[in-house]
Amino acid sequence: MLVTNSFRSITRAFSLSSSSRVGIPLGIGQACSMGSLLLAAGEKGMRISLPNARIMVHQPSGGAQGMASDVLIMAEELSRNRERLNEIYAHHTGQTVEKIAETLDRDRFMSANEAMEFGLIDRIENHNGSSPPIKI
């Protein structure tokens, strides 16, 4: 699966991250928002990024309008989604839920090296072919 640009639907990302469909993700260009979650949710040992890719993580965002009670319902759902997102990232990265919550508090852009140190990816595929080829 090529992961590039942002993937905005948190519910779709939750569904994909808990299925076996993610397989072997390759981060190219920019993997932002839920795109970074799909990158992290790939097969362990096979979560790969190109050297110049940028990866961005953040807490979920949303908006609501209407009656006050409806706005409160949406705020509660957004809070539940944030907690679940933190748990999923923690599971896939090996970081604590507290560390994930702190990191996702604001937009956090990472280089491929930083993403590897954080546990979002396992290796960086160099353009010179120094990494072993991917078997698909």
Q: Which residues lie closer than 8 Å to 60 by C-beta, 6 or more apart?
A: 10, 78, 81, 82, 85
Which H or E run includes 4? strand 2-7
Q: Is 75 helix (H, G, I), strand (E, B) or coil?
A: helix
Marked catalytic residue, from 58, 91, 92, 127 = 58
58 a catalytic residue: yes
d(CA 10, CA 12): 5
Closest to 48 (Cα-Cα) out of 11, 13, 9, 4 = 4
d(CA 70, CA 68): 5
Closest to 63 (Cα-Cα) out of 77, 45, 48, 53 = 77
Residues acting as catalytic residues: 58
